[in-house]
Amino acid sequence: MQDYLEVATKIAYEAGAIMKEVFAQGVAHTIKSDHSPVTDADKRINELVIQRIGQAYPTDSVLGEEGREMQESSHTWVCDPIDGTAAFMRGIPVSVFSLALVVDGEPQIGVVYDPHLDRLYTASKGGGAFMNGTPILTAENTELAHSYIETDGHSGFKNLSFFERALAADVRLLSFSSTIYAHMLVATGQIQGVVFPRTSPWDAASAKIIVEEAGGTTSDVHGKNQRYDRDISGLVSSCSEAFHKNLLALIAPSV
Ligand code: IPD
Ligand code: CA
Ligand code: CA
């Protein structure tokens, strides 16, 4: 696992350098067919990941948001070159690079890099989670009241009654336009939960392993396990198992 982590970390720093360079220059974007924005940096970084993984592990697949290189393999590198493009192109420094090694559907390695704050989040299965090499842990909350929960994929919900129930339960709702960034805040104990209701695996694979290795609980929006190398049923992350039960009950009528 150490070898995989080293390769992924090197790529993350290279990706971060591209993000910083483009961010400093002011970011032009185009709109994709799914109506979401994409920048040159997203495409350059996705290409970089395909190249670097191709050199290091030529028989592995790469499933990136902006491009893929699929092989007959149990090993898939799932990548979001920039998570938080909407913020990135507006000059708002809330965006991260994300890469996970998923083996037979299960994330084994997760690396997330926030170049704006120079924060590198890493985890490997059974090996704990770290920020810049220091172990990280989720918060100890069990109750929803006064907790901080992030969600911003509103179109992924069946209905929006979740928001009313959350406010009535005295939950503080946050919205960052980078779901992986928000999951990292759960992993470091800064917020208690994230509800990501959409289907893209690159918005979830690294977050799942990093949050779990930091002591948190994750599942799809129905509380189930799932594969992370194909479309997913969302990702819910919580600081603790008890908190997760409460959060799943809160979202159940909306998912
Ligand atoms: C988006 C962000 C956002 C989430 C969207 C994603 P992108 O990713 O993670 O938080 O709500 O569903 O598409 O486009 O910035 O990679
Ligand atoms: Ca994303
Ligand atoms: Ca992206």
> What is the CA(153)–ligand 2 centre distance, in A?
10
- Residues of the chain above pLDDT 70, percent: 100
Q: Is the model's pLDDT at 27 over the cut of 80?
A: no
Q: Is the CB of 80 under 6 A from ligand 1?
A: yes
DSSP state letters, 69-123: E--S-SEEEEEEEEE-HHHHTTT-S--EEEEEEEETTEEEEEEEEETTTTEEEEE
Report, as an integer, the average pLDDT of 178-201: 98
Q: pTM to 2 decimals?
A: 0.97
Reported confidence tier of residue 155, pLDDT bands at 50, 70, 90 = confident
Residue 248 C-beta-side C-alpha neighbours within 13 Å = 20
Q: What is the pLDDT of residue 242?
A: 98
DSSP annotation of 40: H
Mean pLDDT of 42-52: 97
Residue 219's pLDDT is 98
Nearest CA among 160, 216, 207, 206 for reference residue 182: 207
What's the mean pLDDT in 8-27? Answer: 94
| pLDDT score recorded for residue 37 | 84
Atom of ligand 1 nearest to the CA of 81: 16
**Which ligand sits nearest to residue 180's alpha carbon?**
1
Nearest-atom index, ligand 1, CA of 87: 15
pLDDT in tens, 70-100: 999 999 999 999 999 999 999 999 999 999 9
Confidence of residue 209 (pLDDT cuts 50, 70, 90): very high
C-alpha closest to that of 239 among 189, 184, 204, 169: 189
- Ligand nearest to the CA of residue 87, numbered in listed order: 1
Residue 35, pLDDT score = 86
Fold designation for 148-254: D-Maltodextrin-Binding Protein; domain 2 (3.40.190)
- Does the structural domain 2-135 have CATH classification 3.30.540.10? yes
210 Cα: distance to centroid of ligand 3 (angstroms): 18
Tell me the backbone φ, ψ of residue 26, rounded to 5 degrees. Answer: 90, 130
Mean pLDDT on 44-57? 98
**Ligand 1 atom closest to Cα of residue 198:** 12
Query: Crossing angle, helix 2-25 and helix 40-56, to 10 degrees?
Result: 160
**CA-closest residue to ligand 1 atom 5:** 153
Ligand 3 midpoint to CA 36 (Å)? 9
What does the pLDDT read at residue 36?
Answer: 86
Return mean pLDDT, the chain: 96
The ligand that comes nearest to the alpha carbon of residue 202 is 2
Q: Give the whole-angstrom CA distance, residue 178 versus residue 124.
A: 22
pLDDT over 80 (residue 22): yes
Closest CA to ligand 1's atom 11: 153
For the residues 227-245, what does the mean pLDDT come to?
A: 98
The pLDDT of residue 168 is above 80: yes
Task: Determine the atom of ligand 1 nearest the C-alpha atom of 82.
Answer: 16
pLDDT above 90 for 175: yes
pLDDT digits (tens, 9 = 90+) for 119-148: 999 999 999 999 999 999 999 999 999 999
- Ligand lying nearest the CA atom of residue 92: 1
pLDDT greater than 80 at residue 116: yes
Query: By alpha-carbon position, which residue is closest to atom 16 of ligand 1?
Result: 83
Q: What is the pLDDT of residue 187?
A: 99
Domain residue spans of the chain: 2-135, 148-254
- Ligand 1 binding pocket includes 179 (Cβ within 6 Å): yes
pLDDT confidence bin for 34, thresholds 50/70/90 = confident
